[in-house]
Amino acid sequence: MIKKIKKNFSIEFDYDNHDGSEVRTGYTDEVVQDEGIDKIFRIDYTAPIENKFNKDSKYEIGFKQDKGDDKHYSIIENENFNWNYDNSIYAAYINVLYNFTEKFGMQVGARFEDQEKQSVINFDESDCSSLDQLNCEQSGFCSWDDGICSETLFGNLINNLGEDLDVTYEHTRVYPSIYFLYDTQGKGNFKFEFGRRIERPSHWSLNPIPDLEEAEAGFIRQGDPYLRPEDIYKSEISYSNRIPIGFLKASLYYSTVKDMIDRDKDTYCYGSTCNDSNDNSDQTNYMVLSWDNVSESIDRGIDFTFMTRPLPNWDIMINGNYWNNILDGVEADQQGNEYGFWGMINSTIRLQNDQQIGAYSHFSSPMTISSGEIKGMRRFDLTYKKKVNKRFNFTVKLKDVFDSGGFDIKTDQLIDLDGDNIFDIREVLNSEYRRGKRNLSVTFEYRFGDFQKKKYKRENQRGYNQSGGMDVGF
Tens-digit pLDDT profile for residues 288-343: 888 888 878 999 999 999 999 999 999 999 999 999 989 887 776 677 888 999 99
Determine contact, residues 366/343, Cβ cutoff 8 Å.
Answer: no
Structural domain contains residue 377:
no
Structural domain contains residue 395:
no
Residue 305 carries which side chain, given as an amino acid letter?
T
Higher-scoring residue by pLDDT: 46, 449: 46
Mean pLDDT of the chain: 82
Q: Is the dihedral of CA 421, 425, 430, 431 positive or negative?
A: negative
Higher-scoring residue by pLDDT: 359, 81: 359
- Phi-psi category of 471—alpha, beta or left, where left has phi over 0 and alpha has psi -120 to 50? alpha
Determine contact, residues 181/189, Cβ cutoff 8 Å.
Answer: yes
In angstroms, rounded to a whole number, what is the distance separating the alpha carbons of residues 140 and 128? 11
Predicted confidence (pLDDT) at residue 474 exceeds the cutoff of 50 = no
Structural domain contains residue 372:
no
Question: Against a cut of 0.85, is the pTM above it?
Answer: no
Structural domain contains residue 359:
no
* pLDDT per position as a tens digit, 387-428: 988 889 999 999 888 887 766 666 665 555 455 555 555 555
**Torsion on CA atoms 274, 275, 277, 283, rounded to nearest 10:** -10
* pLDDT per position as a tens digit, 206-262: 888 888 878 887 888 888 988 999 999 999 999 999 998 999 999 999 999 999 888
Average pLDDT over residues 11-38: 81
**Torsion on CA atoms 212, 213, 219, 224, rounded to nearest 10:** -50
Predicted confidence (pLDDT) at residue 470 exceeds the cutoff of 60 = no
Structural domain contains residue 363:
no
Low-confidence winner among 69-73, 163-167, 212-216, 271-275 (lowest mean pLDDT) = 271-275
pLDDT reported for residue 467: 34
In angstroms, rounded to a whole number, what is the distance separating the alpha carbons of residues 265 and 284? 16
Determine contact, residues 151/145, Cβ cutoff 8 Å.
Answer: no
Are β-strands 284-293 and 261-270 bridged in parallel, bridged antiparallel, or unpaired?
antiparallel
- Phi-psi category of 462—alpha, beta or left, where left has phi over 0 and alpha has psi -120 to 50? left
pLDDT reported for residue 124: 67
Structural domain contains residue 394:
no
426-438 burial, b at 16+ Cβ within 10 Å, e below that, comes to ebeeebeeeeeee
pLDDT reported for residue 320: 96
pLDDT reported for residue 126: 64
Q: Domain range for residue 411?
A: 4-313+320-340+402-439+449-471
pLDDT reported for residue 299: 93
Structural domain contains residue 101:
yes
pLDDT band, residue 95 (cuts 50/70/90)? very high
pLDDT reported for residue 378: 87
The percent of residues in the chain predicted with pLDDT above 70, rounded, is 82
Q: How many structural domains does the chain have?
A: 1
Structural domain contains residue 386:
no
Determine contact, residues 325/256, Cβ cutoff 8 Å.
Answer: no
User: Could you tell me which residues come within 8 angstroms of residue 185 by beta carbon, excluding any fewer than 6 positions away?
Assistant: 102, 103
pLDDT band, residue 75 (cuts 50/70/90)? confident
Q: Is the dihedral of CA 452, 456, 458, 464 positive or negative?
A: positive
* pLDDT per position as a tens digit, 259-270: 988 878 777 888
Average pLDDT over residues 434-439: 69
